Amino acid sequence: MHPISEARQKAIEARDSVRAADAAMAQAEDQHDAARTHYAAALRRVQDGEQVSNLAALADATDAASAAVATARRRLERAKASLHEAEKERDKLVADTAAEDAELARRPSGRVPGAAGVVAEPRAATGTRYRDLFEAPVASSEFRTSSAFLQAVASGQHHPHLVPAATAMRESSGSAGGWLVPSELSAEYFDAALEMEVVRPRARVYGMASDTRKIAGFKADGGGGTTGPYGFRPQWLAEAGSIGTVEPMLRKVELQARKLALLVQASNELLMDGLSYGEQLDRVMRQAIAWSLDHAFLNGSGSGQPLGALNAPCTIEVAKEDGQGADTFEAENALNMLSRLLPGSFSRAVWVVSSTLIPQLFTLNVAIGTAGALLPYFAVDAAGNMRLLGLPVVPSEKLPALGNRGDVLLADFSYYAVGLRKEVTIDRSQHVGFSSDVETFRGLLRADGQPLLERAYTGDDGVTRSAFVTLAERA
């Protein structure tokens, strides 16, 4: 496992330990409160002149419950300390890797990914964290974990630390109703989801303070060499020569905060009797956020949702080989796709492949005469990292199945822009499932995404290239 991936996994495990310790702490406190209540009631009966035979036992139970609370508190403190160290180590590795990548990017490189081997050691995508987009979250003294917040919402009872979303967001088009998720818990949702996503860790991510955010994108020049990429071409000048004016082919990319909603239903029996329902709902929301954002950034139509890379006008579709069989992926497909990738993207691009395409990768071969020869186009290292033609392979269940258009995508996601609103809201309703004795929970967040490129770029050789290349259907 890559060191960053290992550090992230340790941080996730440490965060889970904090949740478990916090749940144990809450249970111990409830038991202590119950024991104290019983003991206090017994003392009042004694003061009233009654005989209470189990007074000593009640006192012992209260002392034992108090000791259990102290033990649970120490366990929670140790778990928080371990989480702090794990996150500190993870952040250090991420920062060191980013610094190394920046240094490598500054150095000239004469190597291009090819069949002969691996260009460089695989690196895990680090990504832009929520905490980097907005001001540092202020820790809540009440909701120590996101599951504790969800448990407060699920209880349906008044809680002084639940903030109504309608009073927290002042813009007219903001989401109304529900409870505003505290910022440090929103960071926990987004940052935990980041570790399960493909696109967002590698994309340009922008915080959105309003419903829209405008950023600079690129138009593609179709002049076949009459101008440079996106209109930028320096000029060679004779002595005292004049510099001609060039107009950069930039365009305005507008990110709109599009609403992503999640509805979860639970019976009242589960809410009243189920153990750690807040933890289960918390886990579901993390996975749902990761899956939904990634799916939209890859497959979105752009209508009421992000524009996914597979549906963008700038994405190049490479034709299948003559006579290629149905539901296959050949070495020539990979070579042709790589030839259409922007050369400047070789150091950042990844192959995102459908999980159903993996068996094809392990059997890639090139025909030589009447026999086939297995060439090292595809490789797997000891840590399980896969590479195709020297570039990382990222399997995903969010792409179409083998043989369909888009089952493989060669992408440089630094040309993809993601916008995130800060606010996340959670609401609870008894009305939707009133006749079935079911409670409904609704989660809302707002985000958007689209490629920075308007269309593919045509180079001096007349060939179109892009940061996003996919393969046509092989049916």
The yes-or-no verdict on residue 120 having pLDDT over 60 is no
What pLDDT score does 462 carry?
84
Closest CA to 57 of 72, 71, 73, 42: 42
CA 221-224-230 angle, to 5 degrees, is 25
Higher pLDDT, 371 or 253: 253
Position 443 pLDDT exceeds 60: yes
Between helix 277-299 and helix 183-194 the angle, nearest 10°, is: 60
Average pLDDT taken over every residue of the chain? 78
- Cα 198 to Cα 189, 395, 399: the distances in Å are 16, 9, 11
What is the rounded CA–CA span in Å between residue 51 and residue 332? 91
In the predicted structure, residue 175 carries a pLDDT above the cut 50: no
DSSP alpha helix (H) spans, 156-233: 165-168, 183-194
Please report, for the chain, the start and end positions of each structural domain, with discontinuous segments joined by +: 1-108, 121-475
Residue 17: half-sphere exposure toward Cβ, Cα within 13 Å: 18
- Condensed to tens digits (0 to 9), the pLDDT of residues 144-156 reads 666 667 667 766 6
CA distance 439 to 316: 46
- What confidence score (pLDDT) does residue 326 get? 96
Rounded to whole angstroms, the Cα distance separating 366 from 102 reads: 36
Whole-number Å distance between alpha carbons of 216 and 453 = 10
Are the beta carbons of 348 and 396 closer than 8 angstroms? no
Other beta carbons within 10 angstroms of residue 107's beta carbon come to 6
The amino acid at 366 = V
Give the orientation angle of helix 3-47 with respect to helix 183-194, to 10 degrees.
140
The full DSSP string for 392-452 is EEEEETTSPPTTSTTSEEEE-GGGEEEEEEEEEEEEEEEEEEGGGTEEEEEEEEEEEEEES
Please tell me the predicted confidence (pLDDT) of residue 184.
63
pLDDT at 262 over 50: yes
The structure's pTM equals: 0.66
Task: Check whether 242 has a pLDDT greater than 60.
Answer: yes
Give the three-class secondary structure for 24.
helix
Q: Which of 163-172, 414-423, 456-465 has the lowest mean pLDDT?
A: 163-172
| Residue 189: predicted pLDDT | 64
Taking 80 as the threshold, does the pLDDT of residue 102 lie above it?
Answer: no
Handedness of CA 187, 190, 193, 199 (dihedral sign): negative
Provide the pLDDT confidence category of residue 239 given band limits of 50, 70 and 90: confident
91 pLDDT band, cuts 50/70/90, is: confident
Mean per-residue pLDDT, 51-58 = 83
